[in-house]
Amino acid sequence: MGYIKEQIKVVKERDPAIRSTIEVLLYPSFKALIYYKIAHYFYNKKRYLIARYISEKAKRKTGIEIHPGATIGKGLFIDHGVGVVIGETAIIGENVTMFHGVTLGGIGSETGKRHPTIGNNVFIGCGAKILGNITIGDNVKVGANAVILKDVEANTTVVGVPGVIVKRNGRKV
């Protein structure tokens, strides 16, 4: 029950459109993360079929695809959510915000750890694609529709295709 209260708090803090606590229960990201938590439990127990069944059901209901093998820290907020894909070996730190259409995916030629690791306090704009076994540092801002294929150091802002650092420690590069 603590996880549900925590997720309600996260949505209320980060979405100015929220008018009441009960409204949070309608949010696709809230539902997707509850499903994820259940699926992740079964995945860790090596009950892969039931884990995938739950995650597929969540995808159909919410439009958000989170592989049950992904590792997600506290405070993830997915605003609007439709089209978000989080791959099996993705690791997401704490207090991450992402918007619709974000993909944390692989590039097809990797085995083992093949999805990105996202640091703490990261903001990922809508449509961004972060691909491969790369690391996005803490306090990074990823611009809308950016395509990130290489590691991004902490405290930077990255935009474009392919992603280019435009700010480092609050100063233009």
* Residue 104 DSSP class: E
Q: What is the pTM of this model?
A: 0.92
pLDDT of residue 1: 59
- Average pLDDT in the 59-74 region? 97
Please state the length of the chain.
Answer: 173
Please report, in angstroms and rounded to a whole number, the separation of the first and last CA atoms in the chain.
45
Rg (CA), the chain: 16
Over residues 105-124, the pLDDT tens digits come to: 999 877 899 999 999 999 99
Reported confidence tier of residue 125, pLDDT bands at 50, 70, 90: very high
- CATH tag for 2-172 (out of 3.30.1310.10, 3.40.50.12280, 2.160.10.10, 1.10.3720.10): 2.160.10.10
Sequence letter at residue 7: Q
Closest CA to 133 of 152, 154, 110, 153: 110
Q: Is 15 exposed, middle or buried (0-12, 13-18, 19+ CB in 10 A)?
A: middle
pLDDT of residue 173: 85
- Helix, coil or strand: residue 28: helix
CB 95 within 8 A of CB 75: yes
- Helix, coil or strand: residue 105: strand
Question: Which residues are CB-neighbours of 50 under 8 A, at least 6 positions away?
Answer: 39, 42
- Helix, coil or strand: residue 136: strand
Over residues 163-172, the pLDDT tens digits come to: 999 999 988 9
With tokens 């992603």, the residue in question is 163
Reported confidence tier of residue 47, pLDDT bands at 50, 70, 90: very high
Over residues 94-103, the pLDDT tens digits come to: 999 999 999 9
With tokens 């809508």, the residue in question is 126
